[in-house]
Amino acid sequence: MDTKKEIKNNNFICQIINKDLNENKNLSFYTRFPPEPNGYLHIGHAKSICLNFELASLYKGRCNLRFDDTNPLKENIKYIKSIKHDINWLGYKWHGNVRYASEYFLKLYQYAQELIKKGLAYVDHLTKEQIREYRGTLNTPGKNSPYRNRTIQENIELFEKMKKGDFSEGEACLRAKINMSSSSIIMRDPVLYRIIFIKHHQTQNKWCIYPMYDFAHCLSDSIEGITHSLCTLEFQDNKFLYNWILKNTSVKHYPKQYEFSRLNLEFSILSKRKIKILIDKNIIEGWDDPRIPTLSALRRKGYTPSSIKNFCQKIGVTKQNNLIEFSMLEHCIRKELNQTAIRTMAILDPIKIFLYNLDSNYKEEFIVPNHPNNPEMGTHKIIFTNTIYIDRSDFKEKYDKKYKRLKLGEKIRLRYSYIIHAEKIEKDEYGNISNIICYCDLNTLGRKPKDNKNPAVIHWISEKNTLSAEFKLYDQLFNIKNPEQQENFLLYINSKSLIKKFGFIEKKIGEEIQKKISNNNIEIFFQFERIGYFCIDFIDSKKNQLVFNRTVGLRDTWDSKKIKTKNITNN
């Protein structure tokens, strides 16, 4: 994939950048990825990461990593570590050191003082609820705070008292003095600073007043020399405040903000608040549960950095909000794993077959390819004995003309091996089939049977070549396409989003994995033949019990020739 070429050809933002660079030959492209350290990154963040870092590479510019750490109530060092790890995992390197908005707190405070001295900011004592009430609605204008017309000197002194901690939380805040009748609600005297008495992970207890995101963001962009500040469409109205703050402070550099559509993914929820509800109610295991689209969850499920970047390239960058098919994401990882995953056999729901015409000491070895189309991936050895396992779904007791696998009185070919004929069955005390008694035709290795009719092929494992394993079969967490739009999204949980199976993998393959189980940075991917693509779950696996997560099935349902999206108002 030529990511740079694709971005240049399909990205409307590139047209803007090209125009800016053509008009100013001395301009160097400089952007940033500015997450708040209050949660884990998800697939939507990956779109923004790829866009910013790929553009920086394309235009030979720079991309900063800056944590907008202006709300210590919700922030945590663990999120900072996780975000840095995810960006590195995707293969990107930010310019210079990691930056923090908190590094600029003194400068931001000075800019706030400038606004006060210009009569453009005031200290307000309305409560949060009163501020919301005074703000008005889309159809009704707001009304001025009774504290709006204080003198500049009063506001300077009160803001200093806020800084010294003389007010309690919620007792005072600093607001911009703009227009309470503005058609844009965000411009109706927005709060610029609030009081929070809590230890900050970077500045410790140095500050008790903290800038709001909208105030810190634009000024941090300016301080860092950012030329193009790229964000999602929900910040479109914030641009008015972004530009107002820059215009009314003594900044030397004026970045420009541009918006693109956020990523909305079928059958998924990206809201941190809603994901936390799922965790608290024990519907999912945590932030890395493979049923949610956080990057840590996708990584655990078996998605690779290249598959995620390929997906982000395919969906493109537009101003139109749409709902992306989940099958497109699956297509990207399936296409990659089809080229790279080792082929092996696994039995998820075992049923035993006894080959009565082979004695108990019978043993034959077959050398099979690790990949059918890539000899360079090597081979591995499997053994064939008189007792083997097949999947229970590959046998049917009653005759069914449409059923093409093993039936009583019929034959089937074992993958890489012989044709067998099912002659009778044995059942346990509950009526479940415990044994299938079969005849093995030893004249059919690599040959057609006497009737010259090739039967279907199924996978198998010798009883003497097994290692027990758990298999987690993941499906969509929700049974509707757009759960984000549902007020009570919990009503649409897919009760079959996780099915656990207990069976076997090839012993030699399993033993090789067990040697590497302590190193959870090693990515190991398999195609379990006729089943799907799987990866080892390093979190749940133990040396005596391997656990595999299904990454994606074998069948591709996405039309790769056409990107299919739906308007987000449709379910």
pLDDT, tens only, 81-119:
999 999 999 999 999 999 999 999 999 999 999 999 999
For residue 442, which of 433, 434, 450 has the smallest C-alpha distance?
A: 450
Superfamily of domain 272-342+468-567: Ribosomal Protein L25; Chain P (2.40.240.10)
Residue 276 tokens read as 């936390």
pTM given for the model: 0.91
Average pLDDT per block of 10 residues along the chain, 571 residues long: 51 91 92 97 97 96 98 96 98 98 99 99 98 96 97 98 98 98 97 98 98 98 98 94 98 96 95 95 96 98 98 92 93 97 97 97 97 96 98 90 89 97 94 95 90 90 97 97 93 97 95 78 86 94 90 80 43 36
In this prediction, residue 414 carries a pLDDT of 98
Segment 301-314, tens digit of pLDDT:
999 999 999 999 99
For position 556, what pLDDT does the model report?
Answer: 79
Q: Is 121 annotated in some ligand binding site?
A: no
Tell me how crowded residue 100 is: count the other CB atoms within 10 A of its CB. Answer: 21
CATH (residue range 346-459) = 2.40.240.10
Q: What is the DSSP string of 337-391?
A: HHHHPEEE-EESSEEEEEETTS-TT-EEEEEEESSTT-GGG-EEEEEEESEEEEE
- Residue 383 — φ and ψ, nearest 5°? -120, 150
Which of 32, 62, 194, 262 does the annotation list as catalytic?
262
Give the whole-angstrom CA distance, residue 260 versus residue 32. Answer: 15
pLDDT of 9: 53
On whether 36 is known to bind a ligand per the annotation, the reply is yes
pLDDT at 453: 83
Catalytic residue among 36, 103, 259, 266: 36
Whether 262 is a known active-site residue: answer: yes
Yes or no: say if 41 and 294 are a contact pair by the CB < 8 Å rule. Answer: yes
Residue from 107, 148, 150, 272 carrying the catalytic annotation:
272
For a pLDDT cut of 70, what percent of the chain falls above it? Answer: 95
**47 in a known ligand binding site:** yes
Q: Is 36 a catalytic residue?
A: yes
95 is in an annotated binding site: no
3-260 and 346-459: identical CATH topology: no
Domain boundaries, given as residue ranges, for the chain: 3-260, 272-342+468-567, 346-459
185 annotated to a ligand binding site: no
Beta carbons of 345 and 383 less than 8 angstroms apart:
no
- Quick one: pLDDT at residue 400? 81
Is 45 marked as a binding-site residue?
A: yes
pLDDT of 334: 97
What class is the 3-260 domain?
A: alpha beta
Q: Cα 84 vs. chain centroid, distance in angstroms? A: 15
> Is 529 an annotated catalytic residue?
no
pLDDT of residue 570: 36
Asked if 263 and 44 count as a contact pair (C-beta separation under 8 A), the reply is: yes
How far apart CA 135 and CA 143 sit, in angstroms, is: 7
Q: Quote the pLDDT of residue 491.
A: 96
| Whole-number Å distance between alpha carbons of 244 and 21 | 24
Q: What is the pLDDT of residues 245-284, one digit of tens each?
A: 999 999 999 999 999 999 999 999 999 999 999 999 999 9
